[in-house]
């Protein structure tokens, strides 16, 4: 729980601060080993009573700023920021930065935290100025600075700057300097994000419209991240607008290979392409292939609808019943009742009661982030909760 977590963090800081305060007051401690400064006891008392705000105030005032206590003040500032007191965190870090005689390591540590303060406060221009300088000049925090710059460019929709920054990050070999470790997941997330930056830029060029430039940008998105189904969907839409239907169909089939959770997003486009090519049977074949990859209700519904047109309601109903036995769902049961009506023309009263109950269940399809579980009512490529790209898909 956030409040308890902050409490424990501050408790650890307080214990460390107690040792430091004791060390500073060596003469008094020699005369009385049990002596503990009263403000320190007061801060601990606030902590134990879960009065975190008051505890922060006490420790900030009690712990004098020195080279020995600088890290403690930085940690306190971070805790203040997490508590939502951004202005106080800014003042604390600005005061630390104003101290003379800071080493380069200490100064850059303070600057990166001040940049985070400004970012949390929405003061993007101030944060960007600090981070750009650190990205250029800091050997210790250059990577962290660029990662934070990506956050700023995403907020500002400055996709060209985001692309340039992500490219630089992908060229870096050592992540260990910033405490990130040699973590392949960091590099993978940057690659996925870079692919989406290209897609965002492509959407802007498509509005001009500049189809050649848009196609080139989408090609770069796929080159960076071959699993970028968003780019393939965008390519399909672009090819349809230029009446390149065979190319569009190839793009849509690529989606089913890249990301099965996005197959439902391709169905109507694929059906439209097949109609334009006078090849409706290809849509039926595509659905058959998709059913082997996903059990999503949209795919099941479309395939059952076409089966009813070809073979009748009974064949379609039998098919849905078999699928429902494999993967029971409310949506599948509702679909089965539709074919039951078409076949018999009547609905027994007990079945009708079940149908009425199902009618109260919200049939709207929701989307969910596979990374953090955040739910949405529409497809977004960027999760507003965990800030990850390409993790949102339809709920099965």
Domain boundaries, the chain: 295-363, 364-396
State residue 84 phi and psi, 5-degree precision.
Answer: 95, 0
Q: Is 389 helix (H, G, I), strand (E, B) or coil?
A: strand
Distance CA 130, CA 304 (A): 58
pLDDT value of position 275: 95
In the predicted structure, residue 360 carries a pLDDT above the cut 80:
no
Distance CA 312, CA 109 (A): 71
Quickly state the pLDDT bin for 68 (edges 50, 70, 90). Answer: low
Other C-beta atoms within 10 Å of 225: how many?
Answer: 23
Distance CA 365, CA 384 (A): 19
Complete DSSP assignment for 206-254: HTTT-HHHHHHHHHHHHHH-TT-HHHHHHHHHHHHHTT-HHHHHHHHHH
In tens, the pLDDT along 169-184 reads 998 764 544 545 456 7
What percentage of residues in the chain have a pLDDT greater than 70?
A: 72
In tens, the pLDDT along 78-113 reads 777 887 888 888 988 888 888 777 888 888 988 999
Averaged pLDDT for residues 155-162: 96
pLDDT value of position 183: 63
Averaged pLDDT for residues 20-33: 50
pLDDT value of position 358: 53
pLDDT value of position 175: 53
Q: Are the CB atoms for 381 and 201 separated by under 8 Å? A: no
pLDDT value of position 120: 93
Sign of the Cα torsion 378, 380, 386, 390 reads positive
Q: Is 394 helix (H, G, I), strand (E, B) or coil?
A: strand
Instruction: Give the residue, 254 or 34, on which the prediction is more confident.
Output: 254
Mean pLDDT of the chain: 79
When mean pLDDT is compared across 137-151, 252-266, 297-311, 359-373, the lowest value belongs to 359-373
In tens, the pLDDT along 285-337 reads 999 999 999 888 889 989 999 988 888 888 888 888 888 777 777 777 777 77
pLDDT value of position 394: 82
């Amino acid at each position: 729980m956030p409040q308890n977590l902050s409490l424990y963090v501050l408790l650890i800081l307080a214990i460390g601060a107690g040792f430091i305060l004791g060390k500073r007051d060596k003469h008094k401690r020699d005369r009385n080993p049990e002596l503990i400064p009263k403000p320190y006891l007061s801060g601990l008392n606030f902590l134990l009573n879960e009065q975190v705000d008051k505890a922060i105030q006490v420790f900030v005032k009690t712990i004098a700023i020195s080279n020995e206590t600088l890290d403690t003040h930085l940690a306190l500032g971070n805790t203040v920021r997490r508590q939502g007191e951004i202005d106080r965190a800014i003042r604390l870090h600005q005061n630390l930065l104003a101290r003379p005689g800071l080493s380069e390591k200490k100064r850059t540590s303070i600057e990166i935290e001040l940049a985070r303060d400004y970012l949390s406060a929405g003061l993007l221009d101030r944060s960007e100025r600090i981070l750009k300088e650190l990205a250029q000049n800091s050997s210790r925090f250059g990577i962290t600075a660029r990662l934070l710059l990506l956050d700023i460019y995403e907020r500002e929709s400055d996709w060209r700057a985001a692309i340039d920054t992500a490219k630089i990050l992908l060229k870096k070999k050592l992540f260990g300097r910033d405490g990130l470790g040699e973590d392949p997941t960091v590099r993978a997330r940057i690659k996925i994000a870079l692919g989406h930056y290209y897609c965002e830029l492509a959407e802007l060029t498509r509005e001009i419209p500049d189809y050649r430039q848009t196609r080139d940008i989408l090609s770069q998105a796929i080159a960076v991240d071959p699993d970028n189904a968003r780019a393939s969907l965008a390519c399909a839409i672009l090819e349809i607008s230029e009446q390149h239907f065979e190319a569009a169909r190839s793009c849509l089939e690529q989606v089913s290979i890249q990301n099965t959770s996005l197959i439902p997003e391709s169905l109507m486009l694929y059906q439209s392409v097949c109609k334009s090519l006078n090849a409706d049977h290809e849509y039926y074949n595509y659905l058959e292939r998709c059913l082997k990859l996903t059990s999503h209700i949209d795919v099941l519904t479309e395939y059952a609808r076409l089966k009813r047109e070809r073979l009748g309601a009974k064949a379609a109903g039998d098919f849905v019943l078999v699928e429902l036995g494999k993967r029971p769902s409310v949506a599948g049961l509702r679909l089965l009742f539709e074919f039951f009506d078409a076949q018999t023309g009547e609905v027994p009263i007990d079945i009708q009661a079940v149908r009425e109950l199902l009618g109260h269940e919200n049939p709207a399809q929701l989307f969910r982030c596979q990374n953090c579980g955040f739910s949405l009512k529409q497809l977004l490529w960027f999760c507003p909760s965990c800030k990850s790209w390409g993790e949102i898909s339809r709920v099965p």
